[in-house]
């Protein structure tokens, strides 16, 4: 039998790991990659993690997929989608690699539409916790809080006015909808 303090330590370690939020994990990865400006180079980040990114025309409703083959993570992206959406797909799949690697060694994870943005938005659709986590991770990877704060500094931002939103979306190379979501959830 193991001494109790060792067991406690192990439990603590396990719960620490589980408690690190997708937001925090995205921030940590950005720091590790030394990303300090927008747009965030998601493809480079994937390569930094040893992943291969493959672009190919897929069915319209398929965004992408991720799996691990002989220890190499492979991210597949639908090349027919808008470039911003492809960036989101890559960020989402990186999220799976960072957060759910364990399940990727035994199966190919395929992503269709991303109907559920983030936690709390439309969680009622019953979409799997992994998808919500990967989406949250992706939003924070593509639009890091620090860079968004910088971009918003000194600006009065009116969510009703579309132009600054569009400008920001362009700067970060994300969809307007994604930018809107991030700004309204800046806490």
Q: Name the residue number minimizing CB distance to Zn ion.
A: 111
Nearest to 169 by CA among 139, 134, 146: 139
The string of DSSP letters for 156-185 reads ---TT-HHHHHHHHHHHT--HHHHHHHHHT
Give the residue with the Cβ less far from Zn ion, 13 or 69.
69
Residue 138 Cβ vs Zn ion, minimum distance, rounded to whole Å: 9
Residue 60 Cβ vs Zn ion, minimum distance, rounded to whole Å: 17
Binding site for Zn ion (CB under 5 A): 111, 131, 134
* Angstrom distance (rounded) from CA 114 to CA 118: 10
Give the residue with the Cβ less far from Zn ion, 8 or 110.
110
Give the residue with the Cβ less far from Zn ion, 26 or 168.
26
Residue 135 CA, chain-centre distance (Å), reads 5
Residue 11 Cβ vs Zn ion, minimum distance, rounded to whole Å: 29
Give the residue with the Cβ less far from Zn ion, 98 or 111.
111
Residue 83 Cβ vs Zn ion, minimum distance, rounded to whole Å: 19
Pairing of strands 72-78, 52-56: parallel
* Angstrom distance (rounded) from CA 124 to CA 135: 15
């Amino acid at each position: 039998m193991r001494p109790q303090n060792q067991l406690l330590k192990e439990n603590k370690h396990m719960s620490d790991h589980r408690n690190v939020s997708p937001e925090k994990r995205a921030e940590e990865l950005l720091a590790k990659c030394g990303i300090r400006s927008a747009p965030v180079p998601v493809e480079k980040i994937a390569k930094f993690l040893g992943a291969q990114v493959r672009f190919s025309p897929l069915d319209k409703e398929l965004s992408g997929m991720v799996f691990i083959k002989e220890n190499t993570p492979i991210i597949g992206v639908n090349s027919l989608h808008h470039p911003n959406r492809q960036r989101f797909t890559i960020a989402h799949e990186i999220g799976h690699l960072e957060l759910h690697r364990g399940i990727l060694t035994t199966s190919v994870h395929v992503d269709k539409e991303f109907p559920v943005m983030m936690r709390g938005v439309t969680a009622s659709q019953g979409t799997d916790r992994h998808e919500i986590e990967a989406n949250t991770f992706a939003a924070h990877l593509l639009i890091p809080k620090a860079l968004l704060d910088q971009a918003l500094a000194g600006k009065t931002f009116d969510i009703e006015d579309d132009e600054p939103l569009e400008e920001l979306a362009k700067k970060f190379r994300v969809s307007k909808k994604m930018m809107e979501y991030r700004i309204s959830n800046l806490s």
